[in-house]
Amino acid sequence: MAQSAPLFGQVTVIGLGLIGGSLAAALRNGGLAGRLVAGSRSARTLERGLAMGLVDAAYQDLAEAVRGADLVFVAVPVSAMADTFAAIAPALGRHTIITDGGSVKGPVIEAARQHLGVHYARFVPGHPIAGKERSGVEAADAALYQRHRIILTPTEATDPAATAKVRQLWTAVGAEVLDMRPAEHDRVLAETSHLPHLLAFALVDTLSRQGDSTDIFRYAAGGFRDFTRIASSDPVMWHDIFIENRDAVLAAADEFAAGLARFRAAVANGDSEALLGTMTRANTARARFLAMNARTSYTHAQGATDEQLMKADNQAGQARNPVFHLTPGGRLNGQIRVAGDKSISHRSIMLGALAEGVTEIEGFLEGEDALATLEAFRDMGVVIEGPHAGRVRVHGVGLHGLKAPSRTLYMGNSGTSMRLLMGLLAGQSFASELTGDASLTSRPMERVAQPLRQMGAAIGTTGDGTPPVSIRGGRPLEGIHFTMPVASAQVKSALLLAGLYAHGRTSVTEPAPTRDHTERMLAGFGYDVQRDGATVTITGGGGLTACNLEVPADISSAAFFLVGASIAPGSELLLPHVGINPTRTGIIDILRLMGADIQLENERDSGGEPVADLRVRSAPLKGITIPQELVPLAIDEFPAIFIAAACAEGETILHGAEELRVKESDRIQAMADGLVTLGAEVETYPDGIRIRGIAEGAAFTQGEIESHDDHRIAMSFAIAALRASGPITIHNCANVATSFPGFAELAAGAGLGLTVSG
């Protein structure tokens, strides 16, 4: 849709092929330029561009083409950039901005520096990551750049205002704009684009020289065709790229040659561990690459075809955040297995990797956070098969078998991964670095780093105590006794993991009970763990033995269904293999105090964790004042408990839960706002809430709810629809997919009237 006023009075495109012609078409369609001019040495190309209506004027004289231009886009081969800059420089205006589409930035920037003179400060180097099988002006496509990436590589000399204007241009034609340093761009493109083309050209040429090449190509399978398709690319263009980006291409080729030699040696030696390690790392690395490009989750990318991911990417450009649509009423019945426990999934990978032997894991949570932990251990040389439908095989390397990672370990958004790994890596012989996404790199890490330093670890954070976290390694650790000033399962776990490598005893005393998954799982792997009241102690120098374990279903995920089946008349639901760790069962205790009918069946032990099958039947609920001692044991489940309170007879009052104000959202206020929207009566306090319930009939009206990108807010109000008089719509539900994969499908299968759009 055209905008009211153009961004530029005149835009000149030098080189009217696919790249330049497509930008001209997009500018024309969007009304982004008052006048469009083309420059090219080819008269035929210019004639065709005029005939297609792409430009208003066209010149073979490049200097004439750029006169009066506010922006010049140079889309010629990299080898022609220097001559082009020299030709246009005399005719450029004082305020003209110049940008380009070259796929190699170092030589282009040097050519601009030499030939643009005073105009060099307004040169914004760029690279559109877009293309087609067809080339030339006839292939120009106004939609080519929509939902594709444009990399800008401004130099220290580039005027920031010029960069901002070029960014605005690409954003206006529907592209996603990224920034990179020029040298980093050339290295990354050499590895991800130039090297694959080099390999394809070399493979096809090598096979074509074989005496039986006719039969080779006749019987070639789909994999050969897919891999070698890019060998049909323009040889002249790729000749220029290989020459202009010579150093980066050679470095990438050398790295590949070393990797190929390792792979060949593994095949020659029948080294199954090395083969599996290489292939499993490659398999999952590709899934992560596809996930980033399709803007979807790693879990989705792992099981999807390239065509499906492309479709997902296109849909993402139209609606990037799912919306839940709930029909009122219904009941929950049957048996459903909720998502695996995230805390235990993290630890199962960590301890399985450090154990001797192969650990078989069932029920692993295939969410982004747990997968970040899994990938970190792959990067440290651990062979991990899967995950496949929650099944993972970890080929343990022992306490001292981890290898130095070749790159910074990326933890995504997972604070648990980073903090626990700080303790584990402090005892290794090699140096390492941990980083994460924008959210994780703003979170405090010193509360873990400081006690680890007391043990002798060399750990660095930023001046603000945030990631990246650097760990020197090779430092002897000494056991300490640490009394935690604030209860934290992550701090406790990090110190215990470091204690595996420390001389002597490491003990931690906590001021209040926290999750004890690490202690339980260490014992499950055969490590001696001593508990004395609030203190847990281990002695360094032991070993872990591989075992089979089944990750319990997450009681935090089960909470939504415990509440849903309690409030919906006629419901009966069985939730098998749910973790009932006593530090996590506040939700059951609170609902039972309200009158819920929840039975624990088939109680048993799984890898050191207590589990049970939870059977819940609908029952009349009554309001209560929630006991203070239960608040920390149900802190994550209160959004669901608030829904139960609105369906209970009388008032429910909560105090002592100020921590809810600083979760993914202000959960007290977010839940209060949503409950009021749906007709409930609430009063908030700094540390809690009062909810007046309705014992029978519809407790909620229809309404639209804002989840504030908080997965627990979204899932709680989804369950509320079971007692609503009209439809409920919940916006911004994307985070549900990564924290509880399959929630919508499970809930709908059990009887909730839930559909998802976007």
Question: Got the DSSP string for 466-514?
Answer: -S-EEE------B--EEE-SS--HHHHHHHHHHHTTSBSEEEEE-SS--
Query: 74: closest CA among 139, 4, 20, 5?
Result: 20
What is d(CA 528, CA 510) in angstroms, rounded to the nearest whole number? 19
Binding residues: 342-343, 347, 415, 443, 488, 490, 636, 663, 667, 712
Quick one: 707 exposed, middle or buried, by C-beta within 10 A (0-12, 13-18, 19+)? buried
Whether residue 616 contacts residue 572, with contact meaning beta carbons closer than 8 Å, is answered with yes
Q: Which H or E run includes 738?
A: helix 734-739
Query: 499: closest CA among 531, 529, 467?
Result: 529
Non-local (6+) Cβ contacts of 527 within 8 A are 500, 538, 542, 543, 544
Whether residue 351 contacts residue 345, with contact meaning beta carbons closer than 8 Å, is answered with no
The Cβ of residue 390 has, within 10 Å, a number of other Cβ atoms equal to 19
What is d(CA 633, CA 516) in angstroms, rounded to the nearest whole number? 12
Diameter of the chain by CA atoms? 88
Tokens of 396: 């343990």
Q: Is the dihedral of CA 192, 193, 196, 199 positive or negative?
A: negative
Whether residue 528 contacts residue 496, with contact meaning beta carbons closer than 8 Å, is answered with no
What is d(CA 723, CA 2) in angstroms, rounded to the nearest whole number? 46
Output the CA–CA distances (angstroms, integers) from residue 75 to 39, 103, 153, in the order listed. Answer: 10, 10, 16
Q: Which amino acid is at 152?
A: L
Whether residue 347 contacts residue 371, with contact meaning beta carbons closer than 8 Å, is answered with no
Edge-to-edge strands of the sheet including 459-460? 409-410, 432-435, 469-471, 459-460
What is d(CA 138, CA 201) in angstroms, rounded to the nearest whole number? 27
Binding residues for 3-phosphoshikimate: 342-343, 347, 488, 490, 636, 663
What is d(CA 436, CA 649) in angstroms, rounded to the nearest whole number? 46
Whether residue 655 contacts residue 687, with contact meaning beta carbons closer than 8 Å, is answered with yes
Q: Coil, helix or strand for 453? A: helix
Non-local (6+) Cβ contacts of 450 within 8 A are none
Q: Which H or E run includes 582?
A: none
Does 636 participate in catalysis according to the annotation? yes
Catalytic pick among 56, 636, 709, 710 = 636
Binding residues for phosphoenolpyruvate: 342, 415, 443, 490, 667, 712
Non-local (6+) Cβ contacts of 265 within 8 A are 271, 274
Active site positions, annotated: 636
